[in-house]
A and B are shown apart, each in its own frame.
Chain A
Amino acid sequence: MMSVEESLLDETSDERQDPSGVVVAQNVSKSFGFTKALDNVTIIGKAGAVHAITGENGAGKSTFMKILCGVEKPDTGKLFIHGQEVRFTSANDALNYGVSAVFQEFTLLPNLTIAENMYLGREPMRSGLLSRQGMIRHAQETIERIGVNVKMDWLAGRLSVSEQQLVQIARGITADAGIFFFDEPTAALNKTEVDRLETIINELRTAGKTIFYISHRLEEIFRFCDSITILKDGKHVATVSRASIDEDKLVMLMVGRPMQDLFPPYGQAAESIALDVHSLIPIQDSPEVQLQLHRGERLGLYGLEGQGQREIIRSIIGVIRPKRSHIMKISRDGNPVRLTPEDGVVSCLRMDIGYIPEDRKIEGLYLDLSVHENVALGCLKNLRLTRLAPNASKLVEDIMERMQLQAQSLRQTVGSLSGGNQQKVMLGRWFAAGVDTLLIEQPTRGVDIGAKAEIYKQLQEFAASGGAVLIVSNELTEVIGLCDRIIVVRQGRFVSEVTGRKATEEGIMEYALKDTVSGNKV
C-alpha cells in the first residue's frame, strides 16, 4: 500500500507543473469547529477526464466540492482554474468561472417551475425583464437530452424524487461551464437513468470538460471514471488511475480494512420467541402477514422500494396505526403481553421494544441536545413525568465507549456528529433503556463503512445476548450480510424466506421482482 501511495504522490507532484490541470486545488484545508473536514488536500482535475472522489461519509468529499463551488471558503490553500488563482465568494461567483455543481441535497425549490429551477441564479434576461420563453426553450432542450418526461412549467414540488434528481442534473449541465461536479447523483436513480447519466458524462468528457464525480458507489466509480482520488478523515490518501486498482484494493484504501470483515458472524436463533405477530393488517386493503421473531435472531425484511415492508415494521410498533393486529410480546421470563399498536407508538415502546426510524434526524434524535441527553432519555422512558431523572452518566459513558463513539465529549450536540455516530447514539439510547427487542429501519443509511462495521457488531452482540432484531433495509448486501433470516416482501406479502447463509443477491432479487406469490406463511 505504501508503495502505491508513494508512486501516487510522485504523480501528483508531476501534475502540479502540468499545464493540462484545468482545476488545481492546492493544499486546501477547512475546519468546522474542532473537526478538520479537509486537511492539506491537493487535487488536480484535467480536461476531458472524469475524476472520482471517494471515501467514507465524513471523509471530506462534499466539503471539497463545496469549496470548489464557492459555497464554503477554504481556511488555507489555493484554488487555480486554468492556471489563474481564484477566490470564490459565492456559488454564483464560481459559476462565472465555469464551475457547475449538482449537489447531493435536493436543491430544487418546490414553488418554482422546472425551467425556473434550472436557471435560478443565472436567469436569461430580455430588455431588463425575465425571459421566460428563453428559459423554457433552453430548459426543454436539456430535459429532452436527459430524457425526463416532465413539462417545463410544472412546479418542482410535484416531481418524484428521481425526477427531481434528473432535473438537478439537467440544471448542472445547462450551465455554460467547463468544470462539472456531481455529488452522489445516482442516489435516487434507477438503472436506465444511471445509463443515461453515463452517456451524458461521456459526452461531457468527449467535449473536453473536467468532471469530478463524488460517490462511494464502487460500481459507478469503475464504470464512469478515469482516475480515483481517495479521501479519508479529511486527508488525501491516494490518487490512482482506474486501470491500476480493483474494488478490493479501493475498499482497503477507503476503510483501511478488507470488505469481508465488515459483517459479523451469523448468530443462532433460540427456541424462545420475543415478538409473535399472529396477524397484522398494516393498512387498509393490504394483505395479512404473520411472523415470529426469535431471541438471538436478526431478521431482515427486504423488498423493493414501496412494497410494504416499511408499513409492516411501522405498524408493529404503532407509528402507523394498523388496521387490525394481534401481536404478542413475550418478555425475557416468558410472559406474553398483548401489544396494541392501535393505541400508538408510545404504548408499544413501553414494552421493552426499541425502534430506530429511517430518518434519524427528524424522527429519532434531538439534534440540539447533547449525546448524553439523547442516550440518557432511554433510561427515562418508563418513568412518570413527576419523577426526578436518575443520574445516568456512568451508564451513558459505558455504552458510548463500548460503541466507540467519535465525539469530543458527551456534551457535544448530536446535530454536529457524523451520520454513523448519530446512529450509534440512537442505538445507545435503546441499550440504555435495556430493551430486548429492536425494530430498525435502514440501520446504516448515510453511515460510513467504518461506523457500519461497528453498528453491525453491536447488533450481533445484542442478539447474541438474547435480544431480537427486526430490520428493514433497502441495501441487499447489508440484508444478506447482517441478517440470519431474510423475508422477501412484495406488494405487502411475504413471498419468500431464506437464511442469510444461503441467500444470494440474485435469488432474493428474483423473489422481490417476480410475480410468483407462494403464500405468506413463514
Chain B
Amino acid sequence: MRRLIRMSDSRSGLSIPILAIPVALIIILTTMAHGFASLENLSNLISQIAALMIVAIGQMTVALVMGLDLSVGSVISLVTCMVATGGSPALTVPFCFAIGMMVGLLNGWGVTTLRIHPIIMTLSSMTFLQGVTLMWQPIPGGHVPDIFSVIGVGHTLGVPHSLIWSILCAVAFSILLNYSRFGLHLYAVGGNTVSARLNGVAVNRVTVSAYVLCSLLAVIAGLYLAARIASGDPKIGASFGLDSITAIALGGTQLSGGVGGVVSAIIGALSLGLISNGMNLLGVSPFLQSSAKGFILIVAICAQRRKTVGL
C-alpha cells in the first residue's frame, strides 16, 4: 500500500486517479450497458484494445524522450495493405519490419540531426506514407494469408492470441525500460537532454532508437489488425496516431518527457478502449464519439500535474 501511495512521485506516471479511471468505467458500464459484462463482449474488447495497447507502448517510449509519433497510423495502414496484397508472408512480414525500421530511423534522424519538431517530422512521414499506401491500394480489399488469422486471432486454451501478443510486447518493453541500460537512458534523455549528454548518455542514438521501436511496434499492431480484418485497408490506421496519444495521456505519461511506463500505457489504452466500447454499447453516434475523444485528450493533458517528479 505504501508503494501505491508513493507512486505519484515516481516516474512511472501512475497515480491513484489514473488507476481509478478504468475501474470506475468498468463499474459504470457493468451497471449501465447491457451486455458489457458478457464473455463475448469482453473477448471482443480485448481484441479491440490489443492493437491500441501495442501502439500506445511505442508512443509512450517516444514520449519518454520528449517526442511524439503521428506516423504510427500510416505505418499500420501500410502494413495491412502490404500483407493483403504482397503475396507470401515469408516475404511481406520481414519487408514490413524493414519499412518500420526505415520510418523510425527517418523520424529519429529528422528529430535529432535536423532538429525538426517531432510533430512536423512525423506529420510529414504520416502523410507521405498515407499517400504511398493509397497509391498501392486505393480501396480496402486483398487477401491476408490464412496463417495470419491462426497466429493472430485464434485461441489457445481459451486465451485469445491478441492477449498473448500484447502481453508479450508489454513484458518485453517492461524489461527494456526497467532493467536495461537503454531504458535508463530513455528516462535520462527525457529528464534533461543537456545533463544526460554531460553524464555520458548518447542522446541522439537513444532518441532515434525510441522512434525505431515505436515504428516497429506499429508494424506489429498492423500485422495483428491485418489478421483480424483479413484484408488490407489503407485507412484503418488513420485514428491510431491521436488515439495512442490520448491513451498515454490518460495513463499518466507526460508528453514533455521523462515520465511514463508500460503499465501506464496499458492502463491508458484500457481506459480509452473502455470508453469507446462503452459508447458503442450505449449507442452513441460515431461522430459524437470522435468529439468525445478530442475532449478527453484535452482533459487528460490538463489533469496532468507537471510537478510530479520535479520536472
Contact = CB atoms under 8 A, between A and B. Distances in A.
Interface of A: 71, 90-92, 95, 103, 105-112, 116-117, 120-123, 125, 129-130, 155-158
Given A110-B309, A110-B310, A158-B310, A121 B200 contact: yes
Interface centre among B175, B195, B200, B259, by most A CB within 10 Å? B200
Contacts of B185: 120
B184 A111 contact: no
A210 B142 CA distance: 70
Contacts of A130: 178-181, 183-184
Interface string B181-221: 10111011011101111111110000000000000000000
B260 to A, nearest CB: 10
6 contacts: A107-B198, A107-B199, A109-B188, A120-B200, A122-B200, A130-B184
A120 B9 contact: no
Nearest to B10: A155
A112 B184 contact: yes
Contact of B180 (A109, A110, A129): A129
Contact of B188 (A103, A105, A120): A120
Given A111-B309, A112-B184, A91 B200 contact: yes
Contact of A121 (B178, B187, B190, B199): B199
A123 B181 contact: yes
Interface of B: 9-11, 175, 178-181, 183-185, 187-188, 190-192, 194-202, 258-259, 309-311
B128 to A, nearest CB: 31
Contacts of B311: 110-111, 157
Nearest to B192: A109
Contacts of A95: 200
| Cβ-closest 9 pairs across A and B | A157-B310, A121-B200, A109-B191, A92-B200, A107-B195, A111-B11, A111-B258, A129-B179, A110-B310
Nearest to B11: A111
| A interface, over-half SS | loop
Contacts of B181: 123, 125, 130
Contacts of A92: 200, 202
Contacts of B190: 111
A116 B197 CA distance: 15
A103 B11 contact: no
Contacts of A155: 9-11, 309-310
Contact of A91 (B10, B178, B180, B199): B199
B187 A112 contact: yes
Given A110-B310, A111-B259, A112-B191, A123 B198 contact: no
B198 A112 contact: no
A433 to B, nearest CB: 34
Q: Which of B181, B183, B199 has the most CB of A within 10 A?
A: B199
A189 B187 CA distance: 28
A159 to B, nearest CB: 9
Nearest to B259: A111
Given A91-B198, A91-B199, A120-B199, A112 B310 contact: no
A156 B11 CA distance: 11
Contacts of B194: 105, 107
Given A112-B191, A125-B181, A120 B201 contact: yes
Contacts of A117: 199
Contacts of A103: 198
A110 B257 CA distance: 11
A101 B150 CA distance: 56
A279 B30 CA distance: 62
Contacts of B191: 109-112
Contact of A109 (B10, B175, B183, B195): B195
A90 B200 contact: yes
Contacts of B197: 71, 91
Given A92-B202, A109-B196, A112-B187, 11 more contacts: A107-B199, A111-B310, A120-B199, A123-B181, A130-B178, A130-B180, A130-B184, A155-B9, A155-B10, A155-B11, A158-B310
A175 to B, nearest CB: 10
Contacts of A125: 181
A3 B198 CA distance: 40
Contacts of A90: 200, 202
A103 B179 CA distance: 27
Nearest to A126: B179
